[in-house]
Structure formats: C-alpha cells, structure tokens
Amino acid sequence: MAKKADKKKPAAADQPEIDEVEASRAPLMDHLLELRDRLMRILIVIVVLFCGLWFVTDTVLSFLLTPLGDAAHRAGRPLDELFVAQTTAPLEMLFVKLKLAFVMALAIGFPYVAYQAYSFVAPGLYKNERSAIMPFLFVMPLLFAAGATLVYTFVMPAFMDLSFSQELVGTNVKAVYVPKVKEYYELIISLLMCFGFAFQLPIVMSLLSMAGVIQSSFLRKGRKFALLAIFVIAAVVTPPDPFSQFILGIPLYMLYESGIIVASIIERGRKRRDAEDAKREEEEERREAAEEARRRAAVASVTTPQGTLPAGE
C-alpha cells in the first residue's frame, strides 16, 4: 500500500497545473460569444480612431511627403518654391486620405488588438506561458516603429534621390520626374508596412524557440539558406528594384542573427530550468527513499520476529 501511495505523489504534484487550465474550460458557445464581443470592441476602437485621425490626415500626409520635397530640392529644384506632386484622378486625394486614416487607425490600434487577442487565448495558457508571452506585446510595436523609422529617415530619401537622378535632358526634350501623390503614398505605405512586419522576425523566432520548434544550432547551420530566403522575400514584398531589396535584406539578416542570439538565451534558460527541476526531483526521490527507509526501520523495530522467545523463558 505504501508503494501505491508513493506512485500517486507525482500526479498530485502536477494537479495544480491541470486544474489551472481545466478551470478555464467553457462551452464552445461561450467562447464564440466572447470572440464576438472582443471583435466588436476592436471594430469600435478602429472606427473611433479612424474618425479622430481623419482630421489630421492633411498634417500626416504633408509629413509623409517631406522626403519627396527634400529630395526634389537636393535634385536642383528651387529652394524658395514648393515642389508640386500631381493628382490626376477625380477625388484622388479624398481616397488617399481615407486609406491613410484607415492605416493609421490600424497602426495605432494594433496594441489594443494584440491585447484583445492575448486576453482571448490567455485562459488556455499556464501562468508561466502567459508571463513569457506578455513582454512580446510591448516589444512588437517598438520593432514596428523601428522599421517605419528606418523607412522614413533613410529608405525613402535614398529612393527619391535615385528617382530624381534618372532625369534626362536631350537635344530638344527633357524627361522630368513628376510624381503622383497616390503612387508615392502607396509606395511609402507599402514600405512602412513591409519593414514594420519584417522587423517582427526576432519575435517569431523567439516564439518558435520557446515552443521548441526550432533550435539555435539549426538556425546557425541554416544561415546560407536563410540569407537566400530573406533576399527572395525582400524581392517579393518591396518594389521591383535592387535598391529597396538590398535595403530591406540587410536589416532582416541582422534581425535573423539577433533572433539566433535570443533563441540561444531561451535555450540556456530552458536547460537551467530543466536542470533545476531534475535536481528537485532527485532530491525529492532521495527524501522519499530516506522516509521509506526510516518507516521500514521503525516497523522492523516494533515487530517481534516469530519463533523468538523473550530472554529467560
């Protein structure tokens, strides 16, 4: 009977973790209702942000057009004159502002969207898993902002300088770069989104490492293939020119290397925790063995062997 009781002890030790997840179980309809409520909250926040940001679209659009104007002045346009970007379709600026307000609402509301998604799946996670995922919710917007800043301060100015440098003066003709507002806006927004999401690469690698899907040794061995894949992806998501592919490919590879470092740190932490757990289990087994030995010794000391008479009988 003692052995059976000992075998049940590890299960009892694991019981709190099972209860932690089991306690969060709910019928499917409750999950669907919760999902509906959270999607409605996200929609309301996006709509409110869209309506509020509509009134600042002119300011933001002027801010986004700054790299274009600066590049035009560097290309020889008079500094005392405003550089003219064309609109050629009816209501083109209206649709540009609508798209801009929607993209800004998504970008600003992304932390709230991520929080709602996390809150929906959090009850199905253990406490240590929730504490491990939470920091990523704060790092993701920072990495997105870093990618967007790189586009605005370096990529777009260099891209516009390259565009103006292609102007040509012939014998009786002059080819002048006169950009359209819609095309310029679509270019800068696509670059902002591509760089912002591409900068999430360390987050993805870290989560995969935490889940045990990939290991740092595998990532190190696959550097050559990763470099090829990065530049292929850069060629697909960026405009069809080598410059933008090169500008996106280099930071992506640097982020890949940083992901390897983070994965190594996660693996070392996992090994340390596994070693501590193994040590605790070993100490627990020794303690249980010592208790069992003491119990057996106590039973043996109070039990009189059969066939043995007391002294003097």
**CA pair distance 221, 214, nearest whole angstrom:** 12
174-175 and 168-169 as β-strands: parallel, antiparallel, unpaired? antiparallel
**CA pair distance 207, 253, nearest whole angstrom:** 18
pLDDT of residue 93: 86
Which residues lie closer than 8 Å to 238 by C-beta, 6 or more apart? 190, 191, 194, 244, 245, 248
Per-residue pLDDT averaged across 161-189, rounded? Answer: 83
Per-residue pLDDT averaged across 55-73, rounded? Answer: 88
Least Cα distance to 123 among 21, 242, 3, 237 occurs for: 21
pLDDT of residue 13: 46
Least Cα distance to 213 among 267, 283, 172 occurs for: 267
| SS3 label, residue 168 | strand
Identify the helix (H) or strand (E) that includes residue 158. Answer: helix 156-164
Provide the pLDDT confidence category of residue 3 given band limits of 50, 70 and 90.
very low
**CA pair distance 33, 187, nearest whole angstrom:** 39
Provide the pLDDT confidence category of residue 175 given band limits of 50, 70 and 90.
confident
**CA pair distance 73, 80, nearest whole angstrom:** 9
Annotated domain spans of the chain: 28-166+178-199
Per-residue pLDDT averaged across 214-236, rounded? Answer: 82
pLDDT of residue 56: 92
pLDDT higher than threshold 70 for residue 5: no
Q: pLDDT digit string (tens) for 23-53? A: 555 567 777 888 888 899 999 999 999 999 9
Q: pLDDT digit string (tens) for 277-299? A: 788 888 888 888 888 888 888 88
Low-confidence winner among 13-22, 94-103, 230-239 (lowest mean pLDDT)? 13-22
Q: Which tops the pLDDT comparison, 122 or 110?
A: 110
pLDDT of residue 6: 46
Q: Please give the mean pLDDT across all residues of the chain.
A: 78
Which residues in 248-265 are b (16+ Cβ under 10 Å) and which e? bbebbbebbeebbebbbe
